[in-house]
Structure 1
Amino acid sequence: MLNGIKMLMIAQTEQQVADIKAGKLQYTEDRRLISVSSEPNVEQLIKIKKGNKVEPYLNLENLDKQSKTRKQIQAIQEEVNLTKTVFLAEKELESGKYEANDDPVDPDWFTHWKDNAEKVSNDYMQTLWAKVLAGEITTPGTYSLHTLDLLKKLSKNEAELISKLGEFIIDGQVVQGIMSPRGFGNDSDTVEKMMNEKGLHFTNLLYLQEIGIISGVDSMGLTATYNSSDPSSFVRAFTSKSCGLVARHSDPQKKIEFNVLHTSQLGREIFNLADFNTDREYLKSIAQEVANIGFDVQIGGWLQLNKTKGKLLNPEAILPNNSK
């Protein structure tokens, strides 16, 4: 009930701001909102001289009033933005995804967050700023000032592009396929086609590299090598959001080499904010490539039990095909 009242008050205030901007309401010096005439006051901007000759002139008194009104509108809008974002952060904390923490948030960090969050009016971007605050409250140091600076500059379209790239992340890297014997990336273009269909073509990937999210876009391919987590046989689990891929082999010395785009620390913090799910067909495609080089592979949901262990849920075996 209380949350509903908060949202109603915010909505009413936003409407009042819109009415002030449209000239329907006026905010007086004694902080009252009054209705104003909808008829335009032509003499605010012009002065009539010598018959019908019209010349522009500068009405300093009117300009001063307009300047004060703009500042008042901005102050009200910033207060609305901040209130909405804090409200969203409260809802995020109530989601159960966060653990309680008594460590205080750095005052300088919070000031930096507040100064940026109050400028954000877009609903989608407000949810990102809310997640930043919720994450920092529960684990101070989660989001750097560098991340706040990048988030401040991101448009809604750019944030959505990052979310789309997040669908192709496995174990913190953008996995593009198994490394070929020649060392130039995977032979299959399946993953590339999937990424292109979601707007993740070379130009957009290069842009994400330029702003510091990923690296390796303009190279011949970066490599990530994974060894077994078990000394007696090869066992390796790869996680992707709420999904998992588990590869097994009788030889503990086996390795899996992926062609990847590396994510930066900045990128990992931003990906942690983005709202996305793993592309299941993509995960299956990568699993197929791992199976094709001789590993027993399963994919499914993933339940993280603690910091080092997890469990594959509803496992699906991926059998090798004849493409290799």
Structure 2
Amino acid sequence: MIENNAVKVILEKVAVETGKGIGKLAEAFFGYMGLKAENKHEIKTLKILTDRVLSNPNQLVEYHGKTLSITPNSPIEERARLREDAQSTRKQNNLETVVLHASNELNDDSEVSDEPVDDYWATRFFDMAADISGEDMQIIWGKILAGEIKRPNSYSIRTLELLRSLTTQEIQALKETLPYIIVMNSDYFIISVEDILKKYNINFNRISMLIESNFLSPITLVVEKIHLKGGVDTVQKLFNKNYVICMNCEGEDDRKFDLPIYSLTFSGKELVKLLQPEGDKQYMLDVVNYLRNKVNPPIKVTMHEIKEWAKPFGGFSYSMHDISNEAEISDTKSTTDSIQE
């Protein structure tokens, strides 16, 4: 069973006003945790019951202890009451499951800010979380709640709205694209090079879907302007969770070039920081190959394994060993013109 301390921290941080229905969550939750741990079969039965009620209004369904009874053709008023009760039960179960997942993210070693969670944010969060029923999404919402408790103002309401509105297809498109997100400074993007996009099945339909879901910016003709200074040890880095590409000039002359990209929105950035997706190694090797072949005159490009993060997609340390020449880099030739100085 989850330690009550973690749950208590969550409830104390968000139970700001009993009148909003958030404060009352604390009163009921500890009993719920015992039921959750000891009577999983009954919880599953209740969920089946709730689904049955919502799917068929022409029957009266009752549950007493371990006895389930279904009576067809009950009065419409009774069916309406039962439907409302079932919807309330489902929403409450969703909320408490999200809180349970948040408690999994917190432990005795978690650094929790003394700053309270914003009342409006908490109210909107629980309003939305009540309708989140899929387990995978409930885990994500639990991560958001835990992150907001640790550091208030970490996640915007716009990001919550993005998550809530995602369709099953959009969620799948997002999952398939996350390994190819690259970060440079504070910019998050997908490199828009035709052959690389084609190789990793990042097609027009997927890009359009991610734009419509507000994960990618609707401004499609975007370039990342890169300026490498010559005669100095300054290194420009492109990175994901696992690997970093380092670029620098080997001579005295500066190098400037444009990198075509699809840029992430602010909410997209917050999701990447939250989910911390594993980066695709071969994809990064293909980017190395692209940079080596397309920047003219050539620049020095190396790739290294990231060893440790100070915070998610913040400061990191990496191995000095160049892994870009250890494996054969696929021949990814862009159909675009070479990038000129």
Superposed displacement of residue 210, structure 1: 2.6
C-alpha distance in structure 2 between counterparts of 1:37 and 1:136, whole Å: 42
**Structure 2 partner of 1:26:** 62
C-alpha distance in structure 2 between counterparts of 1:234 and 1:261, whole Å: 26
**Structure 2 partner of 1:262:** 263
Matches within 5 A, 1:145-294: 145-171=157-183, 172-176=187-191, 186=193, 189-196=194-201, 200-215=202-217, 219=220, 221-228=221-228, 232-251=232-251, 253-274=254-275, 276-292=277-293, 293=295, 294=298
C-alpha distance in structure 2 between counterparts of 1:122 and 1:101, whole Å: 29
Q: Is the 8 A contact 2:98 2:142 kept in 1?
A: yes
C-alpha distance in structure 1 between counterparts of 2:299 and 2:261, whole Å: 19
Superposed displacement of residue 251, structure 1: 3.4
Query: Structure 2: which amino acid aligns with 1:26?
Result: E
RMSD across aligned C-alpha pairs, in angstroms? Answer: 3.3
Q: Is the 8 A contact 1:25 1:34 kept in 2?
A: no
Superposed displacement of residue 106, structure 1: 0.4
Superposed displacement of residue 261, structure 1: 0.7
C-alpha distance in structure 2 between counterparts of 1:123 and 1:161, whole Å: 18
Superposed displacement of residue 77, structure 1: 1.5
Superposed displacement of residue 300, structure 1: 2.8
Q: Is the 8 A contact 1:166 1:276 kept in 2?
A: yes
Query: Percent identity over the alignment?
Result: 20
**Structure 1 partner of 2:134:** 122
C-alpha distance in structure 2 between counterparts of 1:215 and 1:144, whole Å: 17
Q: Is the 8 A contact 2:60 2:82 kept in 1?
A: no
C-alpha distance in structure 1 between counterparts of 2:322 and 2:217, whole Å: 32
Change (3 A) 1:246 1:151: same
What is the number of residues matched between the two proteins? Answer: 285
Deviations 1:180-223 (A, max 9, x none): xxxxxx5xx43122331xxx320221122133221367x4x421
Change (3 A) 1:166 1:322: closer
Query: Structure 1: which amino acid aligns with 2:249?
Result: H
C-alpha distance in structure 2 between counterparts of 1:20 and 1:159, whole Å: 25
Query: Structure 2: which amino acid aligns with 1:85?
Result: V
- DSSP 3-state at the match of 1:214: coil
C-alpha distance in structure 2 between counterparts of 1:24 and 1:95, whole Å: 46
TM-score for both structures, normalised by structure 1:
0.75
Matches within 5 A, 1:21-170: 21-22=51-52, 26-27=62-63, 33=65, 35=67, 37=69, 41=72, 44=73, 62-94=75-107, 99-170=111-182
Query: Structure 1: which amino acid aligns with 2:42?
Result: Q
C-alpha distance in structure 2 between counterparts of 1:310 and 1:143, whole Å: 26
Q: Is the 8 A contact 2:166 2:213 kept in 1?
A: no
Q: Is the 8 A contact 2:162 2:214 kept in 1?
A: no
C-alpha distance in structure 1 between counterparts of 2:125 and 2:40, whole Å: 20
C-alpha distance in structure 2 between counterparts of 1:65 and 1:202, whole Å: 50
Q: Is the 8 A contact 2:231 2:249 kept in 1?
A: no
Q: Is the 8 A contact 1:216 1:222 kept in 2?
A: no
Change (3 A) 1:313 1:162: farther
- DSSP 3-state at the match of 1:317: coil
Superposed displacement of residue 37, structure 1: 4.7
Superposed displacement of residue 170, structure 1: 1.1
Where structure 2 has 5 or more consecutive residues not aligned to the other structure, the ranges are: 4-32, 53-58
- Per mean C-alpha deviation after superposition, the further-off stretch among 166-175 and 277-286 is 166-175
Query: Structure 2: which amino acid aligns with 1:149?
Result: E
C-alpha distance in structure 1 between counterparts of 2:174 and 2:225, whole Å: 25
- DSSP 3-state at the match of 1:315: coil
Change (3 A) 1:2 1:276: closer
**Structure 1 partner of 2:302:** 298
C-alpha distance in structure 2 between counterparts of 1:107 and 1:125, whole Å: 23
C-alpha distance in structure 2 between counterparts of 1:229 and 1:111, whole Å: 49
C-alpha distance in structure 2 between counterparts of 1:231 and 1:105, whole Å: 48
Change (3 A) 1:274 1:95: farther
